[in-house]
Structure 1
Amino acid sequence: MSNWSPPPLKPFQRLQVTDGLLMNAERWQLAHQYHRQRQGFQYQALYGGGIVQGLGVRVIPPPAAVRSQYQDGRWVEIQPGMAIDPQGNFIVVTEPMSFRLASENFGREPLWIYLVIRHVDPDTLSRRSDLPVIQETFRIDEKNTLPQGVDLELCRILLPPMGQPVELRNALDVFDPGVGEPNLLHRQEVRSRPQHFLRIGCWGENPDLLTAWQDLITILPGLAPHLEIEAAALGLEGEGEALMGYGLLYCQNPLPWSEVTLGALARHWEAGGTLVVEITNPGMALAELLEIYRDLQRAMSAAEQDPKLATVRSDLASEFRAIQGQLIAQIPQTHPDLMALANQFGASFVAIPHSPHPLRRAPFSLALLPMIEGEAVFVAAAGGLVVIFGPLSSAWLGDRPFPLGNATFRAAQELGVNLLHFAGQRQQLMQSC
């Protein structure tokens, strides 16, 4: 998840200046501390910590001035650059910095080592300077756990197992670094802070479901940087309290739910959570209606391209809206659990393709939903419950046996982003009530 954390909620205090005020060191510090706090508050409120520019890491020969015992292949050089830490402090490196990796791997498996940088406030140092001007500085360190708090990752390096020498080298392929090669792929760049933080619980027996969500999450920085998402697999074990703590539960082809599970889903709904149910085996009655829905969508697309069919477009649109109403009406018969959950909160299903529902309008405006390998996707929503008929999540997989066309692939991604935006916004609004 993001390294962003909210600034402390406390009022600002500043020095009240009047004629004749005696200025001493304490009051001078108070006057300037006010401006430092405001600057830190602004950056912490609006941005996530990260690298602004530079701070590259490359492998170098050992410096000639070091002792012979340290003349080895463990040396890297941190390039000049600038960063902002999660608390809004600037880190400025003006000269290249040599650093020797001292970590050892005492295990039988390769070990990740993380090279990090953090801001150092000179006021916190035990050895205080008597000079009139003091310099804010930084500290470079190595860790064997993921960076947390105020640490910013510069790179990570995979050490070989115990018994093998550590010989660092620059990566031949920066997108696929190997053992002993600095990995720069996970560095966090400074950016506007995300507006919605969302945990997804993938609930079902399909092992590709979590992979599909992870593939969708990878495109968010480009398509929806306001979303910060993490996904976890619940398998078939999700029941009761195991379903809590997630902003979005994505369930594929659910089995009949127990009373315990229905109670947990109701609490999830009340807490602002969103439940998305994807159904790829809808049953005969719904399958027949979905075929008609698909054929009408194809016909409308064809009529759009052929001027000769312009006269029938109005009739096709009317039939398309009518078939959506029939699909909504069929849900209580084929999926009574879903209908019972919606009724519990007094919510009614609406069809997404022709409604002003947020799922259809933000952040992407959707006219028609995608067709995936000949199957139409139909979406119905009732409050915090969203039902998807069709294999939507399978379209998010980046490594499919049969690639989709670019238009279909992007339309499926945009619908997925709209789902995440809706769930994040619903969670935020419900928790603000």
Structure 2
Amino acid sequence: MKIVVIGGGPAGLGAAGAALGVNPSAKMDVYTEFEDVAYSPCGIPFVHGKEIESFEKLFLATKQQYQDQGINVHYTTSVESIDTRGHTIKVRGGAKVSYDRLVIGSGWNYADTGLDRHGLKGIYEVKNIRRAMEWDKYLDTVKDAVIVECGPIALEMVSALVHRGIKTTVVDPGPWPMAGVVDPDIIAPVRKDWEAAGVTTMWGERVTAFGGNGTLTHVDTTAGRIPAQLAIIGTRKVSNNALAKAAGIELGSTGGIVIDSHMRTSARDVFAAGDCTEIPHGVTNVPLQGLSGSHAYAQGKAAGMNAAGGNREYQPVYVPWAMLAGEWMIGGISFGETSAAAIGIKFVSGVANGITRARYFPGVKPITVKLLADPATHRLIGAQMVGGEGVKERADFLGVAIRAGITIDELANMENVYSPAIGALNEPINMAALEVMKKF
């Protein structure tokens, strides 16, 4: 069996490795337009911020290791078209490559700002590691930077720029950062720290033009002109699906490839995974696109196993998430109050302010937990958190809880670990559940 994978990110490499696990004799070819595969783009802001010492730390394996595993990676080799009837792809240079099974992991792009960049140097989309290495040198010359819409990676870049001593302005049409995802009370500590660090924020405003002479010198906004030698594009993720669309593969309402529970597309013997797909939400069944690297990797493994003849089902998602924003961790599961209200979901919510360790133990941090429940069934339907530590672990736990159909009543009676060094006597999840219970 010959399996071809388009894309060298977590979905593509996850698919390749999982397929060989099912069928070790399969011939495996991966095509990527880039110089590298399988690194962590999510780590790039932390290298820019000097919290990670080098970009080399972000690579997951060497090129030789992939070769030793039986994965033949074709670097700097873009795929130009897919012929689903003929079971072939055409790569740069015109060569045709046949396949028995095809996995598309073509990833994502930043949504277009709609602005003319005039070929100016200084407009940066944080994504590719080789480009990031060059941009890191450029950052040494920058005094003023502008964030053009504050998505997750851009949020992390604010901290990186502050760490580099760069005067930073955030321009975003929303009322607060990541307004479509996170509630205002949860993001409030991050905003307070930004203000203390001298970050200028312009909520409800837009960048209208880039200006300069060869190199960016300023951006124009709906509120006036801002000096800038660097503009970080932080628009939302959109699926990179020009190939799939041209091949006649069905796309959904988000622009992502429509797949079934086994990652099969509308084309025979073609599978897809990662940010190029759309996945139903476990509560609403509404399709979602542009999830995390862990989702892409898990989807890739499912696609690879099934392409090789295995049987792995990928279920609807509840989207546990967490990230570091300066000194704060923020995260959640499914919905916050803002997103639930926006799509008309009825909920009851409760908030608790707690601590992550015993109050007297060194390193204790504050943490706020908000839980949302269905008022009719009492089932957990969402959560959001902000704290100095412990957010990721709670998001993972609540992700399992919501998938299992656990109720607020059960969380209000949960057992929890108490050990001064690692956990407080009162678990904030339990405390928040008790607050929700008061409102039923």
TM-score (norm 1): 0.23
Structure with greater strand percent: 2
Structure number with higher relative contact order (C-alpha < 8 Å, ≥ 6 residues apart): 2
Q: Which of these two proteins has the greater Rg computed from alpha carbons?
A: 1
Structure with greater helix percent: 1
TM-score (norm 2): 0.22
